[in-house]
Amino acid sequence: MQSRVKFYVFSFLISGLALCGFSTVIHAKAPDFLIQEDDVVRGDPKAPITILEYSDFTCGFCEKFFHETFPQLLSQYIETGKVRFVYRDFPRSPGGPALHSSQAARCAGQQDAYWPMHDRLFNSGGQLSMDQLKGYAKELGLKGDQFAQCMDNNEFVTDIFKDRMEGGSLGIRGTPAFVLFPTNVPDNPNLILIPGAFPFETFKEQIDKLLNLQTPPAPTS
């Protein structure tokens, strides 16, 4: 098996967003970045299945996923200890609101408010100017000076684009894109890529398949 990532993609838009289907990513060896010590995890960090979302706060399809699919994932899989959910930045632009909103979430994370800011950004209706981002920090009760300094100093720009490059190495070209895999990553994993804002049923089917693989067969009498 070749060491590079292979994709079997059913249908993509030119932008990289999927119209239908999903693909399985096959590795000879799992990349180290699938699980990172500094991941900000939603759910039980030891949950058996991990979902990485590569996303952009300015992306309409990402917002659609957040409002239409994510609530069911949250209640049925994340809050029940079955899935650990990790957001990875994939800004579609090297500057402007796409980058600034990614920075805002990470700067809020310095004050233990990554997920509250994440949710606020996806509930902003696309209102993501620098002044508005600072306003959201105030709404969340963050220390304004610390947040503003973090934003002004571009403290997380390198890490944000590191996320994007790593996602690109998996073949991701558009947002949102999701990578599903067992948290206890095997040496030769089959990673499931869902390239688009698919309905909950698509995620449920793939998560349940992975969960079933983690369950040992019942002993025979």
Measured in degrees and rounded to the nearest 5, phi and psi for residue 18 equal: -85, 145
The reply to whether 12 falls in a domain is: no
86: CB partners within 8 A, 6+ apart: 39, 40, 41, 42, 50, 51, 52, 53
Closest C-alpha to 27, from 171, 159, 127: 171
Neighbours of 5 (CB within 10 A): 15
Residue 20, classified by CB atoms within 10 Å of its CB into exposed (0-12), middle (13-18) or buried (19+), is exposed
CATH number, domain of 173, equals: 3.40.30.10
Q: Pairing state of beta strands 83-89 and 49-55?
A: parallel
The reply to whether 83 falls in a domain is: yes
Per-residue pLDDT at 17: 34
Q: What is the dihedral of CA 136, 89, 106, 87, to 10 degrees?
A: 90
Helices (H), 55-183: 60-68, 70-73, 96-109, 114-122, 130-139, 144-152, 157-169
Question: How far is residue 206's CA from residue 176's CA, in Å, rounded to a whole number?
Answer: 17
The reply to whether 148 falls in a domain is: yes
Per-residue pLDDT at 210: 94
The reply to whether 221 falls in a domain is: no
The reply to whether 218 falls in a domain is: no
Strand order in the sheet with 41-42: 23-26, 190-194, 177-182, 49-55, 83-89, 41-42
Q: Provide block-wise average pLDDT over 10 residues at a time, the chain (221 residues).
A: 30 32 61 91 96 98 98 98 98 94 98 98 97 98 98 96 95 95 85 94 96 71 52
Neighbours of 37 (CB within 10 A): 4
Host domain of residue 184: 20-33+48-211
Q: Are 180 and 207 in contact (CB under 8 A)?
A: yes
Closest C-alpha to 50, from 149, 174, 179, 196: 179
The reply to whether 26 falls in a domain is: yes
| Total domains present in the chain | 1
Residue with tokens 């994993």: 189
Per-residue pLDDT at 215: 65
Question: How far is residue 163's CA from residue 177's CA, in Å, rounded to a whole number?
Answer: 13
The reply to whether 14 falls in a domain is: no
58: CB partners within 8 A, 6+ apart: 91, 92, 93, 97, 98, 101, 126, 128
Per-residue pLDDT at 29: 74
Measured in degrees and rounded to the nearest 5, phi and psi for residue 55 equal: -150, 170
The reply to whether 111 falls in a domain is: yes
